[in-house]
Amino acid sequence: MPDHDRCQFRGVYLLLFLLIEQQWRAILKHSSTTEFTTTPQATLHSNLTVATTTRFAYAFLVAGCDPVRPAYRPFLSNIAVATRLLAHHGSQADVIVFVQMDFRSSHEVLPENDLLLLISSSSLRVHIHYIPKTPFQSYYRTQFDKFRILNFTQYDQGILFMDADVMPLTNLDYLFSLSTTDARIKNNWVVAGPIAPANGGFFLLRPTHGAFERVAALLREQTVSNRIFDSVQGWGHAVGPSDYWETRTGKRGREWTFYAAHADQGFLYHWVKYEQKDVTTIVGSRVQNWGCCDEHGQVQLESAFPLRDIGINLTHDNTVSWQRKPPLTCWSVPGKECLPVYGDFIHFGGRRKPWMKPPPANLTRATQWDSPNHLWYWTYWEINSELGLNLTASEWVTPEDPPLGLKPGKRQAFQGPPIELSR
């Protein structure tokens, strides 16, 4: 479900783009194993071509952060859980965490324990980037801060964005390799959900040079105040008669009327399909590859194949971390078929978040795969005890909604000044 629940917002002045990881690495005990660098760096076996460089990354976003109102904390914990699970299953990626402090907060940065949680929950290198605070913070506007990943062009094999309530169940690094091992696969990936052709909570973009500037300009032009979202023109492209969008359940359409078309999901779909003209979409049991162009210069469906064939064209010199290893259990897939992508992560939409309920009573190492909540809490307890955070379950359970709510309300759209990512 394309829920976008997390604490959130974005910013207008106050450019503070702090890189605090370095100080932290000096303090924390895990610091000696890796050096911080702003460019991709080979880490392990320097002569293997793919798995040994970090030219790809995972990204998360948490906004509305105010240390005195800790409803944002479970989302940080989820990022820690996600990072740990990725590392545990062999990921070699970097992790970018975008953080935006609540405009009402007197704090400009996260407290030390929060940083400890994010940076030391796994062996992966975690980079924290603050988004400037903004008085125009809203769930709606925060959705677009996801596209800040495009400014990180050093990750030229892609950045996979996940909402801060997504839990990966296996190593997802294989997604970054597919476009180099299978000529049909495109540089950008989106996954269709039941009510939208692109899930804004899980997508992979290739940050090419100029892409971020283009996205920032498009958003600036398209989000002028009091605009009414046009369900034919969408974000600047009327879908032609031979083209369509399609949801996981097979619903097709040409109007920009699917869930969150006026928000991040519509913008994402517009960006990968009509601006980049370069996208692989996972639609139910099929993979569709859209590329440029037909005789009218329009994006066209170049190929489609069954989802279960993903990865069969891997060449032999790829290392194991680049091949998909199905998770032990695929809760999200009916019939427990471990199909790629859909079965590889859990999106805790709406109020289904583990931290809105007490931990399972029978939680042990042996029961950790009994349910998504078991896995979440078990992984979290491991981090908790390893880092000595001393958190108890009663501090944990938060019946509270995230600081900015649970969805991008239509009334929030096109309020305030145009969206400006480049500040």
Residues in contact with ligand NAG by CB under 6 A are 17, 151, 182-184, 312-313, 360, 362, 367, 370-371, 388-390, 422
Cβ 124 to ligand NAG, closest distance in Å? 21
Cβ 140 to ligand NAG, closest distance in Å? 19
Cβ 32 to ligand NAG, closest distance in Å? 21
Between 68 and 183, whose beta carbon lies closer to ligand NAG?
A: 183
Task: Kindly write down the DSSP assignment for every residue of 275-330, as one continuous string.
Answer: IS--EEEEETTEEEEEEE--TTS-EEEEEEEEGGGTTTT--TTS-GGGS----S--
Tokens at residue 222, please?
A: 């398209």
Contact 176, 56 (CB under 8 A): yes
Cβ 82 to ligand NAG, closest distance in Å? 21
DSSP 222: H
Between 228 and 312, whose beta carbon lies closer to ligand NAG?
A: 312
Cβ 383 to ligand NAG, closest distance in Å? 12
What ranges in 271-365 are assigned the alpha helix state H?
none
The residues with which 127 forms a beta bridge, in sequence order, are 96
Between 96 and 164, whose beta carbon lies closer to ligand NAG?
A: 96
Cβ 161 to ligand NAG, closest distance in Å? 15
Between 247 and 373, whose beta carbon lies closer to ligand NAG?
A: 373
Between 298 and 323, whose beta carbon lies closer to ligand NAG?
A: 323
Q: Which helix (H) or strand (E) holds 286?
A: strand 286-292
DSSP 264: H
Cβ 183 to ligand NAG, closest distance in Å? 4
Between 151 and 319, whose beta carbon lies closer to ligand NAG?
A: 151
Cβ 422 to ligand NAG, closest distance in Å? 5
Tokens at residue 418, please?
A: 């145009």
Contact 195, 259 (CB under 8 A): yes
Rounded CA-CA distance 409/351 in Å is 17
Between 297 and 388, whose beta carbon lies closer to ligand NAG?
A: 388
Cβ 371 to ligand NAG, closest distance in Å? 6
Between 151 and 300, whose beta carbon lies closer to ligand NAG?
A: 151
List, as own/partner pairs, every contact residues 387-390 make where C-beta atoms lie below 8 angstroms and the sequence separation is at least 24, other chains included. Answer: 387/116, 387/117, 387/120, 387/121, 389/113, 389/116, 389/117
User: How far, in whole angstroms, is CA 70 from its chain's centroid?
Assistant: 22
Between 164 and 310, whose beta carbon lies closer to ligand NAG?
A: 310
What ranges in 89-210 are assigned the alpha helix state H?
112-120, 139-142, 174-181
Q: Nearest 5°: phi and psi at 82?
A: -60, -45
Instruction: Please tell me whether residue 208 adopts helix, strand or coil conformation.
Output: coil
Rounded CA-CA distance 65/60 in Å is 14
Contact 272, 265 (CB under 8 A): no
Rounded CA-CA distance 133/116 in Å is 22
